[in-house]
Structure 1
Amino acid sequence: MKRILIIIACLLLLPVTGSSQVLENIDQITPFHEDLAAIRKGDKWAFINTKGDVVIDYREDLVISPATENANYPYFSDGKCLIKQKINGVDYYGYIGATGKITIKPQFLNATNFNNGHAIVLRVAKEELGKNDLLDKKVVSYSYDEMVIDASGNSKTFLLGPTHLIYKKDRLRKPPMIQSHFLAPNLIATKSKNNSWTLYTLQTSTN
């Protein structure tokens, strides 16, 4: 009888033991943002939920937010997290959602985290100026505009530009700096070339 009771007790403990999960050899654990926290192993980041489950597996394209945002690690804001991908040797920035799928494809030379439905980005513009008959090549000019996008990636408010761009990977090892920043969820300050400031009030996004 005693042996039977011991076997029953062991069987009752099996589900509890089997449901536990251990994450080991983590180099960095960050605070939670929107119920998701970033964890790092080496150069790769993943996201866990409040139960400790890995919901976005380790990947190399997550963007470490600048120290000016008081969060030197990737994080979710408005349900989006910054990523970057190299295209033709140049880094382009975009966003993923909470499932890890891309919601706004990488297309910006630089970008901020979302803030109350808006983000500040540098969008590239390409203009064909003509054709070089001698080399049989199109002559193109590149520039970028600093602007506000909504949660779908649509342009909402123009801030600065166009700024001439030398589109060569050796000249774009670092992204151009964004000159604007959020003062409040719907208020942006933009610094112009003459060091004066302009304030933009944004309409609340409904997306």
Structure 2
Amino acid sequence: MKIINSLLILLLVFPIAVHAQTENTSYDEIAPFSEGMAAVRIGHQWGFIDESAKLVIDFRDDLVWNTNADASKEGVLGIRYPKFKNGLCMIQKLKVNDIPFYGFIDKTGKTVIEPEYLNITEFDHKNAVGIYVREAFQGQNEIKLGVIDYIFTEVVVNTNGEIIWPICEREHILTAKRRYETPELRAKLFGDDLLIFKTKDNKWETKKLNSYL
């Protein structure tokens, strides 16, 4: 009788165990595959599976995505779901006044380009265009608090995180939380080496990047 009771218990428990094992394959959203990996979402967190459906990057809340992404916009506002391009996927981190700064992870989930950009494109080519933020310490005020200015430069950055060409200084970017809007990019990459950018007088110019490398 004890053996029969034990078998009945096992039969009752086994379906529950199977359900628990398969439950984590039920996702709220699965993005298209890119470079052998697809982003999968549960709630507001995303992870990545490979082509065998194995979870290779665990769920995290810093991957960049927008339910209402505008594909006509360059940079972060046009990203519908996380994906790898040239081995890199965009992340975000809240920094100054809880404003999101953007960087990249590699396919192991390691941060390889620190979140130091207010806006940046994905690596559709071997480079990306972003607005880099640099802190400049200006000394102390009358109550001995450090005064820091922020310098914004639109740049071309490579997959190693190296700035290979500063396009122009960017002005009139507000970092106050209530008035903050993601600054638009004024430059675009066409292929690996051709850059077009808008000047201060609203004209367009072109540059061949290979002449600056």
1:138-165 deviation line (CA, Å, top 9, x unaligned): 4443230000111221111111214244
1:196 aligns with 2:203: yes
Looking at structure 2, the residues matched to 131 and 103 of structure 1 have their Cα atoms a distance apart, in angstroms, of 33
Structure 1 unmatched runs, 5+ = 1-17
Between the aligned partners of 2:118 and 2:170, the Cα distance in structure 1 is 13
Aligned match of 1:94? 103
1:66-122 alpha-carbon deviations (Å, 9 max, x no partner): 523786211100100000011241211110000111111111111111133211111
Q: Decide which structure has greater helix share.
A: 2
Report what 2:151 is aligned to: 143
Mapped to 1, the partners of 2:140 and 2:58 lie a distance apart of 47
Aligned to 1:126: 135
Contact 1:112 1:119 survives alignment (8 Å)? yes
Cα 1:104–1:163 change in 2 (3 A) is same
Note if 1:39 corresponds to 2:46: no
Is the contact between residue 143 and residue 165 of structure 1 (CA under 8 Å) also seen in structure 2?
no
TM-score (norm 1): 0.77
Q: Which runs of 5+ in 2 are unaligned?
A: 1-17
- Do the aligned partners of 1:34 and 1:77 also contact (CA within 8 Å) in 2? yes
Which secondary structure state, in structure 2, belongs to the residue aligned with residue 32 of structure 1?
coil
Contact map agreement 2:173 2:183 (CA 8 A) in 1: no
Amino acid across the alignment from 1:179: R
Q: Which residue of 1 aligns with 2:4?
A: none
Equivalent positions of 1:40-189 (< 5 A) are: 40-64=41-65, 66=69, 67-68=71-72, 72-88=80-96, 89-132=98-141, 134-172=142-180, 174-189=181-196
Count of aligned positions = 184
Sort the Cα spacing of 1:59 and 1:145 in 2 relative to 1 into closer, same or farther, 3 A: same
One-letter amino acid matched to 1:28: E
> Partners in 2 of 1:93 and 1:110 — Cα distance?
7
How much does 1:188 deviate? 2.0
Change (3 A) 1:156 1:36: same
Structure 2 distance, partners of 1:71, 1:29, is 15
Q: Deviation of residue 59 (structure 1)? A: 1.1
Aligned residue for 2:206, secondary structure, equals strand
Identity %: 32
**3-state SS of 1:93 partner:** strand
Q: Write the distance in 2 (CA, Å) between the matches of 1:203 and 1:141.
A: 32
